[in-house]
Amino acid sequence: MKEKELKQMTIPAQRLMARCAGEEKRVGTRTVFVGNHPVSETEAYPAQRFCDNRIVSSKYTLWNFLPKNLFEQFRRIANFYFLIIFLVQVTVDTPTSPVTSGLPLFFVITVTAIKQGYEDWLRHRADNEVNKSTVYIIENAKRVRKESEKIKVGDVVEVQADETFPCDLILLSSGTSDGTCYVTTASLDGESNCKTHYAVHDTIALCTAESIDTLRATIECEQPQPDLYKFVGRINIYSNSLEAVARSLGPENLLLKGATLKNTKKIYGVAVYTGMETKMALNYQGKSQKRSAVEKSINAFLIVYLFILLTKAAVCTTLKYVWQSNPYNDEPWYNQKTQKERETLKVLKMFTDFLSFMVLFNFIIPVSMYVTVEMQKFLGSFFISWDKDFYDEEINEGALVNTSDLNEELGQVDYVFTDKTGTLTENSMEFIECSIDGCKYNGVTEEVDGLSQTDGPLTHFDKAVKDREELFLRALCLCHTVEMKTNDTVDGATESAEFTYVSSSPDEIALVKGAKKFGFTFLGTRNGHMRVENQRKEIEEYELLHTLHFDSVRRRMSVIVKTQIGEIYLFCKGADSAVFPRVPVDEIEPTKRHVEHSAMDGYRTLCVAFKKITPDDYEKINRQLVEVKLALQDREEKMEKVFDDIETNMNLIGATAVEDKLQDQAAETIDALHAAGLKVWVLTGDKMETAKSTCYACRLFQTGTELLELTTKSIEECERKEDRLHELLIEYRKKLLREFPKSTIRSHKKAWTDQEYGLIIDGSTLSLILNSSQDSSSNNYKSIFLQICMKCTAVLCCRMAPLQKAQIVRMVKNLKGSPITLSIGDGANDVSMILESHVGIGIKGKEGRQAARNSDYSVPKFKHLKKLLLAHGHLYYVRIAHLVQYFFYKNLCFILPQFLYQFFCGFSQQPLYDAAYLTMYNICFTSLPILAYSLLEQHINIDTLTSEPRLYMNISGNAMLQLGPFLYWTFLAAFEGTVFFFGTYFLFQTSSLEDNGKVYGNWTFGTIVFTVLVFTVTLKLALDTRFWTWINHFVIWGSLAFYVFFSFFWGGIIWPFLKQQRMYFVFAQMLSSVSTWLAIVFLIFISLFPEILLIVLKNVRRRSARNPNLELPMLLSYKHIDSGYS
C-alpha cells in the first residue's frame, strides 16, 4: 500500500486541534469527526453544521411552481409583449376581444408550463428514489437502517457489493485484506473500467461494526468543489495516549456518490460531503447556455417586425386624425359622440387609439413560433439518437444528444477542431518496438534469449547488455498504475484465463503486455508489493514506496521501489521532452534518433529512465513526500515541485514505440469535411513528428500541401526567438497574400483548388505568440498569425496543453465574421475546448467519458461526424430556417389585409376577421403543417448530402436567414396580402353576388379574405415540400379540411355565450355563390403564380445543368455558389 511506508507523525492532540481551527479559517477546510464521536471524553464535541444528504435536482415545488414558472416565461420578449397587449385589451376599449390575444398566449404558456412541469415531476421522482433509498449506518457498534437523506457528515456508512455510494465517503476498510476496493464511475464520467481505491493502512483491520465504532479520528479536508479527480485531505487517528497519527488522503481514498462498488464484498466509509455538496451534485449545477445563430436571427427579425407594427399603428393613428379633421367624418349624423367622448383630452385619445391599432395588428408578432421551435428542436433531436448509422456494435451504443438547442448549428460549422489520440486514432495501443541503450528491438520478431534485434537499417547495432535489457523490462513492469484482477469480470484486456489487466491508460497496458511478450510478466500488487515473473520463471517482489503520478504538465510518471535485497530504485517514463533534460547529454543521441524515426512512422513514443537512490537520499525524499501529501493548502503545487526535484540526475535506459491505429474512415471523413468547405485543425499533446505522420495518414495534409512550420525547432536558429518568429510570420504572410490576395473566412472556401498550405505550430511557440512582449516589433504577432491560419486549409497544433486548446478555439471564435466552431475529442483534456466552442462533440472513447459527458452531442466514432454535419446538420438548418421565415411570412400575410382595410373603414379600428379566426389562425389552422415540415423535410436525399459534401457550402454563413432571403419572404407576403385584399375588394364591386339580389356584408368580405389566406399559405408550404410522407398529407389537407369544417360549425349554430351572432350562416351563404368559388380559386392561383413560375424556371435550369441527376432543392432562399452543382 502507498500509505504503508509513510512515517507516523505524532502531534499532541491539543496542538493539532488548535492548528486545525486556525487552518480551517485560513484556507477554508472542514473538520469531520469520524462516527460523530469526540476524539476524547474530556474534550467538548463541537456542533457540526453541514447540509443533509437530500439531493434536490428539481426546479420547482408545489407552492412556487405557478409564480416561478410564469416569471420565467414572461422574461421572454414575445410572451411579455402579448401579456401587455392582453392587458391593454382588458383595460382599453379596443376593437378586438381580449380573447384574441389572451387565448393564444394562454395556450403557449400552458403548453410550456405542462412540459416544464412534467420534466420537473420526473426530477422529483428521481430525487425521491435516491433520497428514500435504504442505507446502513454504524451507530453504537450496530448496523442501523436509515433512509439515504438522513445521512449526516461524519456518519460511518456500510456499502455492499453492487450498491452505489449514497454520498462522498472516505474509505476506512473493505472486505479485502489489503483494504482495497474496486469502483466503477460510469454514472459520473462514463468510464466503465474498474478503478482501485485504498484505505489508509491504520484502518484496514476495522472490518466489523464493533471494531469500526471504536475508531476515534478526525478528517481535515478541503471544502466541496466539483472536480471529480481532485481531493486534498488528511486523517488524524487518535490512540489512547491522545497522540494523533496523521495520514494523507487523496482522490484514491475518496468514494464518490453515484459510483458503484464492484468485486468487493463490502466497505466502510465515513461521509465527508453530503447532499448538494457532493461532487456529483456540484457537477450537475449550471452549465453555460450556448445560443445558435438562428436564435439571434429570430430576435433580429422580431425587432424588424416590431418596428413594422409600430409604423403601421403610427400611420393609422395619424391618418385617422387627418380623416377626422373633416367635421362630417369626425361625427356623422348616425354616430354622434357622447358627452364623455367630447370632453376626453385629445392627446389621451390619440394614445388610446395608437394602443388600439397596436392591438389590431399585434398578430404580426408570431408568439406561437417559440413553442413550435421548441417542439421542433426537442422532437428533431430524436432523429440523431435513432440513426442506426451512428450505432457502434463494439460499445453497444449510438449517438446521444445532450442539448437539442444547437441542432441547426451543426449545419453552420466553419472550423472543426479535433483531438488526435482516441479521436482520429483508435486509442487501442499495440507494443511495436523499443530501443535499449541505442539498440533497436522489434516487438513482433521471434524471441531469442529475451529480446531480439529487428531487421533493417539498424542491424549494425550490437545488442544491449543483458543486464540493461532486464533492467528496461523491469522498468516497464514496475513503472505504471496497472492493476491485475484474477477471475473476475472487470473490463480490460484479458491476458489469459487467469487474470486481466486494468488501467485508465491503454498505453500502460500495451507496455506491460510488451514486457510480457519478452518474458517479464507483471503479476499484480499484493500488500504494497509489486510482483514480477522474470524470464527464468522466478518471482521477484518489489516494495512500492511511492508513486509520482502522471500529469499533463510534467508529462511523465515515476515509481520508487525497494528490491528484496534492500536496494531502492526510481523508474521514470514520459515524453522525450520531459525526460531528456533530466538525463546526461551523452546518453540522449542514440535513443533520440530512434524516437524521431518511430515518431515519423506515426508511433507514440515514451522514454524510460532510472536512478539508484541511497538510503540517506530516500530518507530525505520520503520526508519531503510525507510533508507535501499532508498539506491541505496548495498540495498539488507543492507536490509538483517535490516531484520535479526528485526526478533529476537520472540515467536513460531506452524508449518504447506503441502504435495507435487510425480510426476507420477517418481519412474519408476529413476529405468530406474539406470538400464541404470546413477548415480542420488538429490539436494534440503529441510530439510533432507523430502528429504530422497521423495528419498525412488521415489526409489532413495532402502530398502536395506545402507545410509552414512555426515550431521550437524552426525558431531556435536565431539567438532571439521572438525576432526569428517575427521573421517567419512576415515571410509566411507575404507568401499567402501573393497566393490569395483577397479572401474572407467563407469566400476562401471555394479557392482551395490550387496550391494548398498547411500550418504546424507547437505549444511553446503558441505561448510566445499569445504572450509576446508588447513592443513595436511583436505587438501584432497574434493578428499576423490569424491571417496565416485563415489562409491555410489545415492547421496542426502539437504539444498542446488543455488550456491552450481552449485558447485556440476562443481565438478563432473571435475572428472577424464570428465563424462557427466545432470541437471534437474523447478525453478529459479535450473538455476545455469542447465547452469553449459553439458546438461540442464528445467521442465515447477509451479515455473515459468526460468529453462525452460535457459535450452537446456524443458519437461513438469520428467517422460519424460526416453524416452528423453534412446530412443532419444541413437538414436541421434548412428546416428551422424555413420554419422561422414561414412564420413571419404567414403572419404578415395575415395582418396586411387588416391594415389595408383601415383605409376603407375610416381608420375606425374595425376588425377584418372574426375573433374566432384571429384566435385560431396560429393555433389550429396553420400550426401543424409547418411543424411536420420542420421535422420531416428532406429537400435533398440524405445519401446525396453525404456523397456531395459541397452542398454544405450552400447553407453556410446562415445563408437562409440573411437579409436577402428575409426581404424575399417579406415582399412575397406583402404581394400575397395585397392580392388577398384587393382581389376580394374588386370582387365586391358588384353589389349583388347572389341570384336573389342579396348583398354581402363586411364579415363575408373578411371571411373570403381569410379563406384565401389559409389556403394560400398552406399550399405555399405544400409547394415547398420535397419529401412527402403520409404525415405531411394528413396535416396539410387535414388542416384545410378542419378550417372548412370549423367555419361551417362556427357559423351554423347560435352560440348562447356570444352577444353578437355576426358569423351566423356567413360561411355557408358565402359558398353558395359560384362567383365566390371562382374568386377564391383565382386569387389563390394569382398569389402562388410567382412561386410556381420560379419553380418551373429552376426545374428547367436544373435539367440543363452539368449534373442533371443531382436533386437540388427548390427553396428560393437557398444560396447557390459557383461549384458546378447548381
Task: Please give the backbone phi and psi of residue 240, each rounded to the nearest 5 degrees, phi first.
Answer: -65, -25
Answer positive or negative: Cα dihedral of 1039, 1045, 1048, 1050. Answer: negative
At 254, the pLDDT band (50, 70, 90 cuts) reads: very high
**pTM listed for this prediction:** 0.71
- pLDDT value of position 719: 60
Residue 1040's nearest CA partner among 1073, 1017, 1068 is: 1017
Residues 925-973 have pLDDT tens digits of 888 999 999 999 888 888 888 888 888 888 888 888 888 888 899 999 9
290: region left, alpha or beta (phi > 0 left; psi from -120 to 50 alpha): beta
Q: Which three cell numbers stand for residue 469?
A: 535489457
- pLDDT value of position 74: 83
Cα separation of 800 and 594, whole Å?
A: 23
pLDDT tops 70 at residue 388 = yes
Q: Which residue has the higher pLDDT, 444 or 261?
A: 261
State the CB neighbour count (10 A cutoff) for residue 631: 16
Half-sphere exposure at residue 572, Cβ-oriented, CA atoms within 13 angstroms:
26
At 746, the pLDDT band (50, 70, 90 cuts) reads: very low
Residues 847-892 have pLDDT tens digits of 556 677 778 888 888 889 999 999 999 999 999 999 999 999 998 9
Cα separation of 26 and 894, whole Å?
A: 67
What is the arithmetic mean of pLDDT over 321-340?
Answer: 69
- pLDDT value of position 25: 36
Residues 590-633 have pLDDT tens digits of 888 888 888 777 788 899 999 999 989 999 988 888 888 777 67
pLDDT tops 50 at residue 23 = no
Q: Which three cell numbers stand for residue 999?
A: 348583398
pLDDT tops 50 at residue 714 = yes
Residue 413's nearest CA partner among 665, 671, 674 is: 674
- pLDDT value of position 542: 92
- pLDDT value of position 337: 67
- pLDDT value of position 333: 59
- pLDDT value of position 299: 80
Q: Which three cell numbers stand for residue 359?
A: 392591438
Residue 192's nearest CA partner among 256, 96, 260 is: 260
- pLDDT value of position 1122: 39
Residue 412's nearest CA partner among 884, 789, 821 is: 821
pLDDT tops 90 at residue 725 = no
Contact 182, 165 (CB under 8 A): no
Contacts of 768 (CB under 8 A, 6+ apart): 715, 721, 722, 725, 781
- Among 356-360, 369-373, 470-474, 779-783, where is mean pLDDT lowest? 779-783
Q: Which three cell numbers stand for residue 579?
A: 525526460
Task: Please give the backbone phi and psi of residue 524, each rounded to the nearest 5 degrees, phi first.
Answer: 100, 180
Contact 656, 571 (CB under 8 A): no
pLDDT tops 80 at residue 517 = yes
Q: Which three cell numbers stand for residue 666?
A: 477517418
Cα separation of 850 and 830, whole Å?
A: 9
Cα separation of 660 and 426, whole Å?
A: 6
pLDDT tops 90 at residue 570 = yes
Position 395, amino acid: I
Residues 277-325 have pLDDT tens digits of 888 777 654 445 567 778 778 888 888 888 888 898 899 888 888 877 7
- pLDDT value of position 957: 84
SS3 content of the chain, % helix, strand, coil (to 5): 50, 20, 35
At 56, the pLDDT band (50, 70, 90 cuts) reads: confident
Contact 588, 581 (CB under 8 A): no
Cα separation of 1014 and 930, whole Å?
A: 13
- How would you list the strands of the sheet with 539-548, edge to edge? 439-442, 425-436, 651-662, 603-613, 568-574, 556-562, 539-548, 529-533, 521-526
**Percent of the chain whose predicted confidence (pLDDT) is above 90:** 16
Half-sphere exposure at residue 570, Cβ-oriented, CA atoms within 13 angstroms:
27
Residue 378's nearest CA partner among 880, 864, 40 is: 880
Residues 646-696 have pLDDT tens digits of 888 899 999 998 887 788 888 899 989 988 988 899 988 777 777 887 888
Residue 268's nearest CA partner among 136, 140, 146, 150 is: 136
- pLDDT value of position 1037: 94
At 1105, the pLDDT band (50, 70, 90 cuts) reads: low
| Residues shown for the chain | 1126
At 560, the pLDDT band (50, 70, 90 cuts) reads: very high
Taking each helix axis as running N to C, give the angle between helix 368-380 and helix 77-91, from 0 to 180 degrees, rounded to the nearest 10: 150
Average pLDDT, the chain: 79
**Percent of the chain whose predicted confidence (pLDDT) is above 70:** 82
- pLDDT value of position 298: 82
- pLDDT value of position 327: 67
Is residue 1057 packed enough to be buried (19+ CB in 10 Å), middle (13-18) or exposed (0-12)? Answer: exposed
- Among 55-64, 146-155, 749-758, where is mean pLDDT lowest? 749-758
Residue 441's nearest CA partner among 458, 424, 420 is: 458
Residues 825-842 have pLDDT tens digits of 887 677 778 888 889 898
pLDDT tops 70 at residue 1111 = no
Cα separation of 223 and 233, whole Å?
A: 10
- pLDDT value of position 339: 64
pLDDT tops 80 at residue 53 = yes
What is the arithmetic mean of pLDDT over 358-363?
Answer: 81
261 strand-pairing partners: 183
Contacts of 646 (CB under 8 A, 6+ apart): 548, 558, 560, 570, 621, 624
Assign 3-class secondary structure to 215-241: CCEEEEEECCCCCCCCCCEEEEEECCC
At 718, the pLDDT band (50, 70, 90 cuts) reads: low
What is the CA angle 429-433-437, rounded to 5? 135
Q: Which three cell numbers stand for residue 385?
A: 439518437
Cα separation of 1085 and 232, whole Å?
A: 75
Cα separation of 443 and 517, whole Å?
A: 8
Give the active site residue among 419, 507, 660, 1024.
Answer: 419
Place of cell 460531503: 273
Task: Please give the backbone phi and psi of residue 368, each rounded to the nearest 5 degrees, phi first.
Answer: -75, -10
Radius of gyration of the chain (CA): 37
pLDDT tops 90 at residue 100 = no
- Among 21-30, 31-40, 42-51, where is mean pLDDT lowest? 21-30
At 845, the pLDDT band (50, 70, 90 cuts) reads: low
- pLDDT value of position 496: 43
pLDDT tops 90 at residue 1033 = yes
Cα separation of 843 and 858, whole Å?
A: 6
What is the arithmetic mean of pLDDT over 893-914?
Answer: 86
- pLDDT value of position 285: 44
807-826 exposure pattern, b = at least 16 Cβ within 10 A, e = fewer: bbbebbeebeeebbbbbbbb
- pLDDT value of position 287: 47
At 702, the pLDDT band (50, 70, 90 cuts) reads: confident
Q: Judge whether 754 counts as a catalytic residue.
A: no
At 5, the pLDDT band (50, 70, 90 cuts) reads: very low
At 1123, the pLDDT band (50, 70, 90 cuts) reads: very low
At 204, the pLDDT band (50, 70, 90 cuts) reads: confident
Task: State whether residue 691 is helix, strand or coil.
Answer: helix
The pairing of strands 29-33 and 217-222 is: antiparallel
Residue 479's nearest CA partner among 500, 507, 498, 443 is: 507
- pLDDT value of position 802: 74
Task: Please give the backbone phi and psi of residue 432, each rounded to the nearest 5 degrees, phi first.
Answer: -105, -55
